[in-house]
Structure 1
Amino acid sequence: MKRFSLLFSAIICLWLNVASALAAPAAPAPGPKDKCPVCGMFVHKYPAWTAAIRFSDGSHAWFDGAKDLFIYLNNLPRYAPTRKPAMISAMLVKDYYSLKLIDGKTAFYVIGSTVYGPMGHELVPLAKQTEAQEFLKDHGGKRIVRFHEITPALLKSLE
Structure 2
Amino acid sequence: MLKRFIKKIMGTIALLLTFALVLLPIAGAEAFDGKHPQSGLKPLDENRQMQISPGDRCPVCGMTVIQYPKFNCAIQLKNATTYYFCTTGCMVRSWMHPEIYLGTARDMLERPIVREYFSGQQIDARDAVLVYGSDVIGPMGPALVPLLDERYLTVFKRRHGGKTQVLLKELTDDRWYEMTGKKIAE
Fold agreement, TM-score > 0.5: yes
Give the secondary structure class of the aligned counterpart of 1:141.
strand
Give the secondary structure class of the aligned counterpart of 2:153.
helix
Give the secondary structure class of the aligned counterpart of 2:76.
strand
Query: Which consecutive unaligned segments of at least 5 residues does structure 2 have?
Result: 1-45
> Which residues in structure 2 correspond to 1:1-159 (within 5 Å)?
26-81=48-103, 83-156=104-177, 157-158=179-180
Residue 119 and residue 89 in structure 1: after superposition, are their counterparts in 2 closer, same or farther (change >3 A)? same
State the match for 1:20 in structure 2: none
- Residues of 2 paired with 1:105 and 1:57: CA distance? 19
Identity of aligned residues (%): 31
Deviation of the 1:145 alpha carbon: 1.1
Matched positions, count:
135
After the TM superposition, list the runs of 4 or more consecutive aligned residues in structure 1 that deviate by more than 6 angstroms: none
Larger radius of gyration between Structure 1 and Structure 2: 2
Q: Which moved more, 1:146-155 or 1:132-141?
A: 146-155
> Root-mean-square deviation (CA), in Å?
1.7
**Cα deviations across residues 52-75 of structure 1 (Å, max 9, x unaligned)?**
001111110111111111111222
- Residues of 1 paired with 2:83 and 2:99: CA distance? 14
Deviation of the 1:134 alpha carbon: 1.2
Q: TM-score, normalised by structure 1?
A: 0.78
Query: Which consecutive unaligned segments of at least 5 residues does structure 1 have?
Result: 1-23
Matched-pair contact (CA < 8 Å) for 2:97–2:106: no
Q: Which structure's relative contact order is higher, taking Cα pairs within 8 Å and 6+ residues apart?
A: 1
- Residues of 1 paired with 2:61 and 2:91: CA distance? 10
